[in-house]
Structure 1
Amino acid sequence: MNSTPIRVLIHGASGRMGQALLRLAAEQPHHLQVVAAVTRRAPVQRVVEGVPYFAASELNGTPAFDVAIDFSLPEGFDPVLALCLQRKAALVSGTTGLDEQQQHALQAAAQQIPLLWASNFSLGVAVLAELVERAAAALSGWDCDVIESHHVHKKDAPSGTAITLGQAAAASGAHPHYASLRAGDIVGEHQVQFTGLGERIELIHRATNRDIFARGALHAAQRLHGRAPALYRVRDLLD
């Protein structure tokens, strides 16, 4: 761990995740220093609680930073990736909906800077994915089902996290099937079920507070800083 705070740029600062990142980073002044908060539109205030705000159009004018944390929109991803490459800074991104070209750009950039993209920054989900891989490898021939539940306003189904868990199972030889439920205000529940003759194993993660995703992204930013260029997973940065 560094003795001086890691300088962080938060890209997508006006969104729900951006606001959570700003709030939680302020609780760790000895480890993290937010040097810029970037929003899509021109900020109403230039400095809020000691943090300088910039419009997305002013991205190139932001001060020096060690790690950018990006939770924005696909159209905002390319500029922040380019800036990180230009400044040789690390990038943590949870922006979803990237197209194939952007995915290729992500892979290419990882040859020059440390980079992490994830659909879910929960540390618990990262552990769950590892357990799913191990279970799928040990339970060859068992049925594998990924069941996910979210609030009624979530539109994509299955969720990105469910797909990631299914990919973890498939990597060890399983053939996952998916089921989705949209109900009430469920933050997020993911269950991976392995069923054999006369027995069943259920691996479950339940999120009860959205702050876990922001905490995980901040954890990843601290662990990513100073690493060799590569494309990392959250589970690679648990230690």
Structure 2
Amino acid sequence: MTRIGIYGANGRMGLALIEACYLSQQAELICAFVRESSQYLDKAINQLQPKADTNIRFSSEQDTLENVDVLIDFTLPEGMKQHLSAAIAAKKPMVIGTTGLTTTEMELLVEAAKEIPIVFSRNYSVGINLLLNLVQTAAQKLADEMDIEIFEAHHRHKIDAPSGTALAIGEAIAEAKGWQHDDVAVYDRSHSHEAKSQHEIGYSVLRAGDIVGEHTAYFATMGERLELTHKAASRLTFASGAVRAAQWLKDKPAGLYDMQDVLDLKK
């Protein structure tokens, strides 16, 4: 049994993570952390997550981590950095799903992983991680004259754009092509006066309503088009993957891992 502590437990993903813990046969929720200023501090978690038939209460992020095996964090970057410091001090493994990290923040994860085991992924869906393998196969096998585009759609509250998952798809394609992603990524064509290059990866973004997450990689040429699409219907998809990652991470040595490691998909 893996004893789990969740940061940002009162948020949309936090509540999904709580549910995923209760659905798992190998995970046990130990701590549900919220900010000290939260209106939910010290209140029973089943006030927000009715599926949690427990007496566990939302607790402060400063509370002890002694009984936790693995911490899960899907909070914003600033909060994640504070939680990472606490995890290092307590020598606790972390599963991190925070998106929109800067280069400096990614370097922080790399350094932290020298001291504790960390799974970091932009998307914890099993289907998305299979998609990353599929787009690499397509990029390798299809002719160089294919146009490559990535489209993603999320709910109106999502801040980072393109999504971390869309970027992961683009990076996987660039790797397969032998390209440097940052050299070929195109995010805005509003000022372009030239035809699209076939040595680029274009990104398109939609933010609307309550869309959980949709991603499509397009490989198109004259006469045919291949579309590889993943659609998520519930945040529980990502939460269940994160709990699965926590179970996998429990006894691992220090290092930086991803969901490709968890699912044994590395080529």
Alignment TM class, shorter chain as reference: 0.7 to 0.9
> For structure 2, which runs of at least 5 residues remain unmatched after alignment?
46-53, 180-199
Corresponding residue for 1:166? 170
- CA 1:137–1:121 in 2, change beyond 3 Å: closer, same or farther? same
Q: How does 1:143-162 map to 2 (within 5 A)?
A: 143-162=147-166
Q: Conserved in 2, the CA contact under 8 Å of 1:71 and 1:93?
A: yes
**Is residue 254 of structure 2 the alignment partner of residue 229 of structure 1?**
yes
Q: Which amino acid aligns with 2:108?
A: A
Name which of 7, 15, 21 aligns with 1:19. Answer: 15
Larger radius of gyration: 2
Q: What is the Cα-based RMSD across aligned positions, in Å? A: 2.1
Name which of 26, 32, 35 aligns with 1:31. Answer: 26
Q: CA deviation at 1:229?
A: 2.1
**Is residue 42 of structure 2 the alignment partner of residue 45 of structure 1?**
yes
Corresponding residue for 1:65? 68
Corresponding residue for 1:55? 60
Cα separation, 2, equivalents of 1:27 and 1:200: 39
> SS where residue 29 of structure 2 aligns?
strand
> SS where residue 8 of structure 1 aligns?
strand
Cα separation, 2, equivalents of 1:209 and 1:18: 13
Q: CA deviation at 1:45?
A: 2.6
Name which of 217, 220, 235 aligns with 1:210. Answer: 235
> SS where residue 58 of structure 2 aligns?
strand
Cα separation, 2, equivalents of 1:108 and 1:44: 32
Q: Conserved in 1, the CA contact under 8 Å of 2:99 and 2:160?
A: no
Q: Conserved in 2, the CA contact under 8 Å of 1:54 and 1:62?
A: no
> For structure 1, which runs of at least 5 residues remain unmatched after alignment?
none
Cα separation, 1, equivalents of 2:258 and 2:92: 17
Structure with the larger strand share: 1
> SS where residue 9 of structure 2 aligns?
coil
Q: Conserved in 2, the CA contact under 8 Å of 1:69 and 1:221?
A: yes
Q: CA deviation at 1:140?
A: 4.5
Cα separation, 1, equivalents of 2:98 and 2:226: 32
Cα separation, 2, equivalents of 1:104 and 1:182: 29
| TM-score, normalised relative to structure 1 | 0.87
Task: State which drifts further: 208-217 or 98-107.
Answer: 98-107
Residue-by-residue CA offset, 1:109-157 (whole Å, 9 max, x unaligned) = 1122221122221111111011111211222412211111223444433
**Is residue 119 of structure 2 the alignment partner of residue 116 of structure 1?**
yes
Name the % identity: 40
Cα separation, 1, equivalents of 2:169 and 2:66: 37
Name which of 76, 80, 83 aligns with 1:80. Answer: 83
Q: Which amino acid aligns with 1:235?
A: Q
- CA 1:190–1:144 in 2, change beyond 3 Å: closer, same or farther? same
Corresponding residue for 1:194? 219
Cα separation, 2, equivalents of 1:190 and 1:11: 27
Cα separation, 2, equivalents of 1:157 and 1:45: 35
- CA 1:220–1:177 in 2, change beyond 3 Å: closer, same or farther? same
- CA 1:96–1:181 in 2, change beyond 3 Å: closer, same or farther? closer
Cα separation, 2, equivalents of 1:151 and 1:225: 32
